[in-house]
Structure 1
Amino acid sequence: MTIAYRAATVITDVLADTAVHDAVVLIEADRIAWVGPADRAPISAHVETVDLGDRVLLPGLMDAHVHLAFDASGDPVESMLARDEPARLESMRRSARQLVESGVTFARDLGSPRGLSARIRDEIRDGTTPGPRLMVAGRPLTRPSGHCWFMGNEVDGPGRARDAVREELDAGADLIKVMVTGGRMTAGTDPLRFEIPETTLAAIVDEAHHHGVTVAAHALSTAGVRAAVTARVDTIEHGTFISPQGGDGFDTALVRELADAGIAVCPTLGVVGAHAHPIPLEIRGGWIAGLHAAGVPILAGTDSGIPRHPHVGGVVDGLKGLLAAGLSTRQALAAATEAGMRAAGLPMAGAVKPGYLADVIAVDEDPRSDVEALLEPPVVIAAGRIVKDTTGEAGA
């Protein structure tokens, strides 16, 4: 079935800042078939037309770092562990719906109990659960009693690490997550040091790449980022340059190495809750600005699910974090659309172009002027399916 969506403005490419006014987008199944001026649209008699009026149609957004198994409560770990598996799955379905209804049409779930995120991904693909396209990491690989051990796959050497990679892939993972440093949500771990030995980390990356999948590395310190870069992971999560003394450890030589290796960074920087981080927003923003200036690909992501990081509307807070770091609105939006999606491993997405995935949203104002226009989008179309329509038009 082909549907023609007409809108006052269609932003076709965020990074190039191209748009078509009084435009039509033709969607066939889960792909964009045509986009252009309404008076040239190849609309035949059997094509349904939906008029979105004065609204702006643009690519759906990416959140490159989410945890569907966490509910953003004061203690999401305790909440998750208190649920049995059916209750965990139901909570994850609710989180997936919240994400997609917030305009997130692609997300990477970077840590959940064994096999659960893959089940949610498959339900979304089948159309039985509303949600964004998902790439899932399954259980994060961590040292014994390391960060997120309570839902992780513990490794204690290169051989065990290779086995763990294969176990997660067998359970349906699309990529591998490794906890290079400790984390603030797991007692007894050290966020300032890398906790996976060099040989073990190298084995994880080698085994994952052998199977054709990428590695996302949790790294909360300069030492952790350096270890991840040395191992040639594919993305670095959080990527905070905290020194061994707990201060500013930004390393320009390391950043150049990051850029030369083409390793992307997902800063997970938001404005809400930034005061709770040990490093001030101004310093963290300066790190992101330095990464961006050096040519390091930046992925928009929020760490949604942890405390103060809700799945509802968190993507806009993440964009505000990038703006606070000095990125322009266009650059921040690009990190959440085509440029970010490509760096995260999803090609032919994040733009409104023929052949691209039919993941689009409609909003009342142009977000290139104010990203808050992205809050509560009235229309969300994911994989060519209408998953949200508060206008009464898109579902007509």
Structure 2
Amino acid sequence: MPSSLLIRNAVFIDVEAGVARPGEPIAIRKGCFEAPVASRYDNEIDLAGLFVCPGLIDAHVHLFLDGGAAPLETFLAADETARMRVAAANAALAIESGITTVRDCGGPGDLVFRFARAIERGEIAGPRILAAGSPLTRPAGHCHFFGIEVATPADAARAVELQARHGAAFVKLIASGGGLTPGTSPAEADLPAEIMREAVRAARANGLQVAVHCHATESIRRAIEAGADTIEHASFTSPDGSPGFDPETAASIRDRGIVVSPTAISGVRIARTIRETGSRNGRDHNAVARLEARREHIARFRDAGVTLIAGSDCGVARTAFDSLADELGEFVRAGMSCADALRAATCDAARCLKQESIGQIRVGFAADLIVLRGNPLIDMIYLRSPLMVIRNGVILCDRRAPAERTTLEGLVL
């Protein structure tokens, strides 16, 4: 089977430098990028007029939620087989959308790890999965339906050890309520600080990062104090449920080197649904304002010097696995350059997640790339519907005209 490929005449997007480099050849051998050499390649393709960019990283997804109108109800009604089908469909859509790595921020741990292993064995086509498995939440807390409920620091330590043994790439803590889960409130910081500290300690002992779901402002402060690596959503919700923004807390996030994934696009879409239908979590009376504030927080975090990475929160209501380009569009609308936004889904995300061999088209890195019709440094719209997607040197999606792709059908590089 062919094991090498040379791409000629494409415009190469150097995401680190934020520039487009016309005509530089890109060589792939045995799943990695290499320096082009004079020796013959098994296949050579001419991509004149097209752009080649690193595969995208979605830093916040839920593979086992379907992204439809009622993801919780669908999940609870499904058996194991149906849940695996949902994950497979989500993984396929992610690949078709140019997403070659996802960070799964919570699901049914046994199924998540089994699904990730099936992808790595090549049994299912999909993105690389960095999985937390089951998130740690308080008893009956947000995401308890696929989480591990912890009531004491000892519970948290045991849960972290369990996830680590099963292959977790990081630990996910639920530090506040959430709109998805009845009986919880995003305004409440409901995971005690001592439990969070012990979970972080246990994660560090196992070499794992910690991501913390935070809507309530107090939950953000607890995550900072506990030593979180990333804060998810960071909604700055007040006790009365109204949104705000605390510059001092944002400065603490920056000074501690903590990274934020604001998940703006899911907030915008859920808010739109609430406006249209009038449905909402009964304890989340300021849901629309809180959700829409996420897009405003992007600019405030940027101005505060906080590092942002792109996560769509896909799987939650109205947020399918093709949503990352729209999340990056929110970054640009908030004032970020296209280059900075693209870095948030490539090289910056890779560094922040300690995945040092992805996120760039660079010698020795995993051969993850997407082929685009236009320059994403000019407009994020070109990230939608890539012509070709390669992950680890395997062509997983090819939308080019049949005459252009016949020599590459089924190619594994």
- Normalised by the length of structure 1, the TM-score is 0.94
Which residue of 2 is the match for residue 109 of structure 1?
104
**In structure 1, what is the Cα distance between the partners aligned to 2:235 and 2:337?**
21
How far residue 46 of structure 1 moved from its aligned partner, in angstroms, is 4.4
How far residue 136 of structure 1 moved from its aligned partner, in angstroms, is 0.2
Change (3 A) 1:280 1:204: closer
Which residue of 1 is the match for residue 215 of structure 2?
220
Which residue of 2 is the match for residue 38 of structure 1?
none
* Cα pair 1:61 1:350 within 8 Å, conserved: yes
**In structure 1, what is the Cα distance between the partners aligned to 2:393 and 2:38?**
17
Which residue of 1 is the match for residue 30 of structure 2?
29
Cα deviation 1:231-284 (Å, max 9, x = unaligned): 111110111112223334311111111111111000001154453452277743
Cα deviation 1:136-163 (Å, max 9, x = unaligned): 0111110000001111100000111111
The 3-state SS of whatever aligns with 1:265 is strand
**In structure 1, what is the Cα distance between the partners aligned to 2:205 and 2:337?**
38
- Do structure 1's residue 371 and structure 2's residue 380 form an aligned pair? yes
How far residue 23 of structure 1 moved from its aligned partner, in angstroms, is 2.4
* Cα pair 1:181 1:190 within 8 Å, conserved: yes
**In structure 2, what is the Cα distance between the partners aligned to 1:92 and 1:205?**
28
Change (3 A) 1:273 1:195: closer
Cα deviation 1:6-51 (Å, max 9, x = unaligned): 2430112x241233212211011221102xxxxxx52423432022
Which residue of 1 is the match for residue 313 of structure 2?
303
How far residue 318 of structure 1 moved from its aligned partner, in angstroms, is 0.8
| The one of 321, 325, 337 aligned to 2:346 | 337
**In structure 1, what is the Cα distance between the partners aligned to 2:105 and 2:42?**
40
**In structure 2, what is the Cα distance between the partners aligned to 1:273 and 1:78?**
16
Q: Counterpart amino acid of 1:387? A: L
* Cα pair 1:137 1:176 within 8 Å, conserved: yes
Which residue of 2 is the match for residue 242 of structure 1?
237
Which residue of 1 is the match for residue 369 of structure 2?
360
**In structure 2, what is the Cα distance between the partners aligned to 1:73 and 1:262?**
35
* Cα pair 1:297 1:340 within 8 Å, conserved: no
How far residue 291 of structure 1 moved from its aligned partner, in angstroms, is 1.5
Which residue of 2 is the match for residue 16 of structure 1?
17
The 3-state SS of whatever aligns with 1:237 is strand
* Cα pair 1:299 1:344 within 8 Å, conserved: no
How far residue 347 of structure 1 moved from its aligned partner, in angstroms, is 1.0
Which residue of 1 is the match for residue 5 of structure 2?
3
Q: Which runs of 5+ in 1 are unaligned?
A: 35-40
- Do structure 1's residue 60 and structure 2's residue 55 form an aligned pair? yes
Which residue of 2 is the match for residue 183 of structure 1?
178
| The one of 203, 206, 216 aligned to 2:198 | 203
Q: Counterpart amino acid of 1:19? A: A
- Do structure 1's residue 322 and structure 2's residue 321 form an aligned pair? no
Q: Counterpart amino acid of 1:300? A: A
**In structure 2, what is the Cα distance between the partners aligned to 1:46 and 1:179?**
49
Q: Counterpart amino acid of 1:304? A: C
The 3-state SS of whatever aligns with 1:64 is strand
The 3-state SS of whatever aligns with 1:321 is helix
How far residue 85 of structure 1 moved from its aligned partner, in angstroms, is 1.1
**In structure 2, what is the Cα distance between the partners aligned to 1:272 and 1:183?**
15
Change (3 A) 1:260 1:76: same
Q: Counterpart amino acid of 1:60? A: G
Which residue of 2 is the match for residue 257 of structure 1?
252
* Cα pair 1:115 1:172 within 8 Å, conserved: no
**In structure 1, what is the Cα distance between the partners aligned to 2:247 and 2:293?**
14
How far residue 348 of structure 1 moved from its aligned partner, in angstroms, is 2.6
- Normalised by the length of structure 2, the TM-score is 0.90
- The alignment of Structure 1 onto Structure 2 pairs a total of residues equal to 388
How far residue 188 of structure 1 moved from its aligned partner, in angstroms, is 1.1
* Cα pair 1:272 1:317 within 8 Å, conserved: no
* Bigger mean CA offset, 264-273 vs 150-159: 264-273
Q: Counterpart amino acid of 2:159? A: A
* Cα pair 1:192 1:224 within 8 Å, conserved: no
Which residue of 2 is the match for residue 130 of structure 1?
125
**In structure 2, what is the Cα distance between the partners aligned to 1:292 and 1:356?**
28
- Do structure 1's residue 42 and structure 2's residue 52 form an aligned pair? no
**In structure 2, what is the Cα distance between the partners aligned to 1:180 and 1:121?**
26
* Cα pair 1:15 1:331 within 8 Å, conserved: no
The 3-state SS of whatever aligns with 1:128 is coil
Which residue of 2 is the match for residue 192 of structure 1?
187
* Cα pair 1:135 1:175 within 8 Å, conserved: yes
Which residue of 1 is the match for residue 153 of structure 2?
158
Cα deviation 1:194-225 (Å, max 9, x = unaligned): 11111111111110111100111000121111
Which residue of 1 is the match for residue 281 of structure 2?
none
Cα deviation 1:98-123 (Å, max 9, x = unaligned): 11111001110011112111112112
Change (3 A) 1:272 1:146: closer
Which residue of 1 is the match for residue 282 of structure 2?
none
Q: Which runs of 5+ in 2 are unaligned?
A: 275-286
* Cα pair 1:282 1:325 within 8 Å, conserved: no
RMSD of aligned C-alpha atoms? 1.6
* Cα pair 1:216 1:237 within 8 Å, conserved: yes
